[in-house]
Chain A
Amino acid sequence: MDALLEISELTMDFGGLRAVDRVSLQVCAGEIVALIGPNGAGKTTLFNCVTGVYRPTAGAIRLRLPGRAGQRIDGLAPHRVTALGLARTFQNIRLFAGMSALENVMLGRHCRTATGMLGAVLQDPAARREEQETVAGSHALLEQVGLAHLGDELAGSLPYGAQRRLEIARALATAPHLLLLDEPAAGMNPQETRELDELIVRIRDRFGVAVLLIEHDMQLVMNISERICVMEYGKLIASGTPAAVRGNPRVIEAYLGEAADA
């Protein structure tokens, strides 16, 4: 299968610190890939390089959309990367706390809508139709993540688990081909985590998006991912199926320390 996202030899330096060291990995269309590793391994830095927050020091990131030629996306501004079809959530939730849940999702439609100032002021039929579609589509997405009844609540006042799901709905609103989830289960209780892994699989099946997720909850990772990539100290130390990665001695060492041979 052709890779949707292809990261090759990606390196990111912060001064003297090499946060990501020649990492190469691929995500295919419709695939769920997990990126795991101890804290500080460079997983979020990798995400930030892919989504345009950082300009990588070296290496290339290519996006190959179905039916189109591949293109490099490293160094593009974040909003351009999103417009091309990558959407993300954040490790420490970054919702628009003062806006309603529905408006948060509607904001995700921003890059897929085109009403300009004049249209917004005059409310011509095209603008009105687009706004109605935005509301309806966003509401449907809220339903998908089980938040339809909380649409008018302020995003900042939602319970923690709901905020995490709202972030996913907001990211989906940008109509992505690849969804990058940064620790979506962080801070969730076991019940919420179980619901989350169903949600992620359901989203993949329904919207046909590929998912690349960073996660520390091993049960979630093992349950849903088709491939797992493991990072440690900025380097990719293993990748493969869950079963293969689980038995990989280097991975066990990275997680448990030197005593792995015992």
Chain B
Amino acid sequence: MFPSLRTAAAAALWFMFLALPLLAVRVDTLHGVVEWRWQSLGWVGAGAFAASLLWQGSRAWRRRRPADRPVPPGPLAGAAGRLLEDPRWYRPALSVLLAAAVAFPWLVDTYQASIMGLALIFVVLGLGLNITVGLAGLLDLGYIAFFAVGAYSYALLNTVCGLGFWTCLPIGGLAGALCGLLLGFPILRLRGDYLAIVTLGFGSIAKIVLENWDALSGGARGIAGIARPGLFGLEMGMAGITIYLYYLVLALVAVAAFVSRRLQASRIGRAWVALREDEIACAAMGVDVARTKLSAYAFGAFWAGSVGVIFAARNTYINPNSFTFTESALVLAIVVLGGMGSLVGVVLAALVLVLLPEYLRAAAEYRMLVFGAVMVLMMILRPQGLIKVRRRRYLPRPAAGA
């Protein structure tokens, strides 16, 4: 018992030391005094002490259980597995989920519907990047650039050419895909660190161009007065517009998830995954590596472009600050946290990562601290992501005589 107490005490002291400048010292510049808040430091210590004891307790408990419980072959054990794999389970579950998502904006206030709409935008972004990074294994640190391409194409086509939302939705998507191809070509031969550097550069270049090309993009001022999408000329109030946009994004989520799932289970999806696993073997098995890479980039970027159009329509005002590296990193975090390649995981992770900071606004200045702690905990507890990808089973077996 004593060693664990000692470890807990050490952890508590260490956390108090770490939190000292942030929580205990407060410089009151108005009165020129330094305020010491020992009480909050005490809370940190107590919290760390308790958390450490709990952590050690759970580890000891886990160790006492029989180590490797045999996993029954065939269908996944447990309700979670059945929910994800068996059509008899996931179809009803999906319908319930969809019904809940459809009913959601009517059950909550406009603010909730609005941030849920934002979260769904990131779900689409996550689904798009999931193809490039999660399936094809092509790291992209500048993904948000394609989102910007979609948003700016609508903003410009709408404010300058007067084109409507529905015309621009596919145009934005295709513009995103085209930029995906443009980015894809020069980096076909790169991998690993180099790929990361070039895509990071691409993202930064996109933002810098938007900030400085005053004539086209309005520079840092951005573009204002973008039209909201209409619905048969219906007049809608603020609440109505919010709900309408929520449904638009929800529909795009559904389409993106459906298409991703179909592609994932096709020869194209298999080629993407094979590319991630071993590029040389992939080429040797007759897969056109260049084409497969480009299709992964273009297809991933397509969704970012499409949802970018909705983003511009939703905000009616865009400027380059919505498309920084932070957003790229957030989308990447969604894909990694969701479990590289898992659709359900990406959806969950997007909701968690976008909604958590929103709901943590109650904790005001500590929200990013809590957010970071959650991320660290996730990486410790589930390094493979929220949902581990299971390879598709091709059951029932074809006839034995095949």
**Residues in B250-294 with C-beta less than 8 Å from chain A:** 258-259, 262-263, 266-271, 273-274, 276-278, 280-289
Judged by a CB distance under 8 angstroms, whether B295 is at the interface is yes
**A134 with B267, Cβ < 8 A, contacts A88-B284, A95-B281, A107-B287 known:** yes
Tell me, yes or no, whether A39 is within 8 Å of chain B by CB: no
> With a CB–CB cut-off of 8 A, which chain B residues contact A115?
266-268
Q: Does A111 contact B (CB under 8 A)?
A: yes
Report B-chain residues with C-beta under 8 Å of the C-beta of A90: 280-281, 284
C-alpha gap A119/B262 in the complex (Å): 10
Q: Are A99 and B273 in contact (CB under 8 A)?
A: yes
Q: A107-B274, A110-B271, A121-B262 are in contact. Are A135 and B394 (CB under 8 A)?
A: yes
Alpha-carbon separation in the docked complex, A218 to B254 (Å): 59
A152:B268 contact, CB within 8 angstroms = no
Measured in the bound complex, the distance between the Cα atoms of B398 and A136 in whole Å is 6
How many angstroms from the CA of A83 to the CA of B270 in the assembled complex? Answer: 18
Interface extent on A, as a size class?
35 or more
Whether B286 and A110, one on each chain, are in contact in the complex, defined by CB atoms closer than 8 angstroms, is yes
On whether the beta carbons of B267 and A110 are closer than 8 Å, the reply is: yes
Query: Is B295 within 8 A of A110, CB to CB?
Result: no
| Inter-chain contacts of A111 with B (CB < 8 A) | 285-287
Q: Is the CB of A117 within 8 A of B295?
A: yes
B401 to chain A, nearest CB (A): 9
- Stretch from A14-22, A26-34, A57-65, A74-82 forming part of the interface with B: A74-82
With a cutoff of 8 Å between Cβ atoms, the chain A residues found around residue B398 in the complex are 132, 135-136, 139
What residues of chain A lie closer than 8 Å to B268, measured between beta carbons? 115-117, 120
Residue B63 is within 8 A (CB to CB) of chain A in the complex: no
**A103 B391 Cβ-Cβ under 8 A:** yes
Tell me which residues from 83 to 140 in chain A have a Cβ below 8 Å from any Cβ of chain B.
Answer: 83, 87-88, 90, 94-100, 102-103, 106-113, 115-117, 119-121, 123, 127, 131-132, 134-137, 139-140
The 5 lowest CB-CB distance pairs between A and B, nearest first, are A111-B286, A120-B266, A82-B286, A96-B277, A94-B281
Interface residues of B (CB under 8 A from A): 258-259, 262-263, 266-271, 273-274, 276-278, 280-289, 295, 299, 391-395, 397-399, 402
